[in-house]
Structure 1
Amino acid sequence: MPDVAELTLYPIKSLDGVSLPEVSLTAAGALLGDRRYMLVDAQGRRVNGKRYAQLHRLRAQFDPGLRQVQLWGDGQAAQFDLQQERDPLQTWLSNWLGFPVQVLEAPITGFPDDPYASGPTLISTSTLEVVANWFPGLTAEELRQRFRMNIEVSECPPFWEDHLFAQADQGVRFRIGEVELLGINPCARCGVPTRDPITGASYLGFQKHFVVQRQKTLPPWAEVSRFDHFYRLGLNTWIPKTEAGKKLRVGDPVEILAVEPLSAYPELSRTPQQPL
């Protein structure tokens, strides 16, 4: 049976993650602290790695309570309390980026990449290892930083997570420890995985080669109808409100329970918010 090998949160969207031994769930079915903060410019437009490759050069380190952040890059460094020093933090980031930014906060929902499947993302260690072999010079650790997933599972074959989505009107109910989740769809990827996570430099031909290899190695258990394109990797999930306050822990077993119609979850509905 697969189990959880690593849990990673990304407190400030697009910046470095932090690995924790356990994570609580909010009332919105999000991991507490994940993508809690997001940068926007003076016009309210999102400032993220997808749009600004220079963010890859900015390092961030958080304390275990996710209240303090150390930032450094391009010869500059500073430390801030995320709750008490918001204005100085915004000023420092604005100076570092070269244009004004504001730090927004969403403590309950976070700022998920997919507002429909707004739960944690999931991938297997063996998948990262196989995909790394597609690209000379890359390692599983670097792929881990490029794809930025929340839950990593081990003790399973490559692409095992493709068991966890079904047809478009269905979800796969599964359990991690004490938490029940619903697998929704394979993650559509953006330009971030094509870049070096430290320098922001592009890997020439990354997306094209990935698509060819992903299609060639798609496992027989994957629901092929969910691949309108093959630049997809990992799983998007949704978690019902009944799981609020429960915890995911490293070492928790992962068990598939059932394939169910999405109509069984009336609270799961598309929102007008657009993907980030």
Structure 2
Amino acid sequence: MARIADLVAYPLKSNDGVALDRAELGAAGALRGDRTYALVEAGVDPHEASVGGNGGYVNGKREPAVHGIRASYELTDSVDATPTAVTLSRPARAETRTDADERRFALPDEADAVEAWVGEYLGYDVDLVREPDGGLPDDRVAHGPTAVSRATLETVAGWFDAVADATEMRRRLRPNVVLDDCPAFWEDRLFADRGEAVRVAAGDAELLGVNPCQRCVVPSRNPDTGAEIDGFRETFIKNRRATLPDWTESDRFDHDFRLMVNTVVPETQRGATLAVGDEVRIEGIEPLDGELY
């Protein structure tokens, strides 16, 4: 039986995560505090902007320099990753004549100072936006925690000489839940065909697995430097097809550049908690609300 090995929230979207022992499922279904804050180009509405490469978000898809920023957080409490403060560090950058620097910012009170500090580093104006209720996930339909197995991370890391280990691959893929005691690509069991969901029990919480996550350029980039692996997509697709398990068969898996699973959290489960060590059980397949997918 699979179990939860790691829980990771990303309080500042596109920046470092924070490991949790327990996490509460928030109002929209995400881990409470996950992607509460995000950086966007100045004046951009985060709810209207695309999360793609030219959509206004200051993320790894469009701004490799983001990878140089390190973040650590002071959190609201042990099950809520909403940050009360963030410490950011940046390397020296010749392009914008910024020196290496580290600063602590109280949140949300010092949002303007974060904007000025990051904008100076990047060379253009940015806004720090906040969504305390549901966060600012890439998938605006399936807001639940994303999941992948540790064996998958180990296997995919082995496809690339430039990827050190499973931990680095986790930082590239940025899942919320890492599963253990299961084989590589076991998480592909957590989605079915279009119009269907896989009900999954984890501890005392239940989630609906709905969709294999479509990947972007971010996993090809070193999470610390932004250096890109040449031919990453092609190598990934070739190996994903060669190792595809029988259980991955689904009309949702329409191309091979997919890895990790998006979930939906039923309203009745909002406020439930996930914890490291929780057993994960597949309960069955059921119809999915058409408004979701």
- TM-score tier after normalising by the smaller chain length: over 0.9
2: CA distance, partners of 1:79 / 1:68: 7
1:71 maps to which residue?
88
1:124 to 149, 171, 175: 149
- Give me the identity figure in percent: 46
1:145 maps to which residue?
171
Structural mapping, 1:192-207, within 5 Å = 192-207=218-233
1:5 maps to which residue?
5
Residues 139-188 of structure 1, C-alpha deviations (whole Å, 9 max, x = no match): 11110110000000100011000000000111101111111100011000
The answer to whether structure 1 residue 29 and structure 2 residue 29 are counterparts is: yes
Residues 180-223 of structure 1, C-alpha deviations (whole Å, 9 max, x = no match): 10001100001000001000000111111000100111101112
2: CA distance, partners of 1:55 / 1:137: 20
1: CA distance, partners of 2:86 / 2:122: 17
- Structure 1 residue ranges without an equivalent (≥5): 271-276
8 Å Cα contact 1:165-1:223 kept in structure 2: no
2:200 maps to which residue?
174
Displacement over 3 Å in runs of 4+: none
Displacement of 1:43 after TM fit?
Answer: 4.0
2: CA distance, partners of 1:82 / 1:133: 39
Greater CA drift, 182-191 or 80-89: 80-89
Query: Could you tell me the TM-score, scaled by structure 2's length?
Result: 0.88
Query: Could you tell me the TM-score, scaled by structure 1's length?
Result: 0.94
2: CA distance, partners of 1:262 / 1:251: 28
The answer to whether structure 1 residue 57 and structure 2 residue 42 are counterparts is: no
Structural mapping, 1:229-240, within 5 Å = 229-240=255-266
Amino acid aligned to 1:198: D
2: CA distance, partners of 1:205 / 1:244: 41
Residues 11-59 of structure 1, C-alpha deviations (whole Å, 9 max, x = no match): 0110000001011111211110101111111241211111101100111
Displacement of 1:112 after TM fit?
Answer: 1.0
1:110 to 131, 135, 146: 135
Greater CA drift, 242-251 or 131-140: 131-140
1: CA distance, partners of 2:283 / 2:3: 15
Displacement of 1:227 after TM fit?
Answer: 2.1
3-state SS, counterpart of residue 26 of structure 1: coil
8 Å Cα contact 1:162-1:186 kept in structure 2: yes
Displacement of 1:224 after TM fit?
Answer: 3.8
Greater CA drift, 242-251 or 83-92: 83-92
- How many pairs align? 267
1: CA distance, partners of 2:60 / 2:32: 22
8 Å Cα contact 1:30-1:108 kept in structure 2: no
Greater CA drift, 88-97 or 119-128: 88-97
8 Å Cα contact 2:43-2:127 kept in structure 1: no
Amino acid aligned to 2:26: T
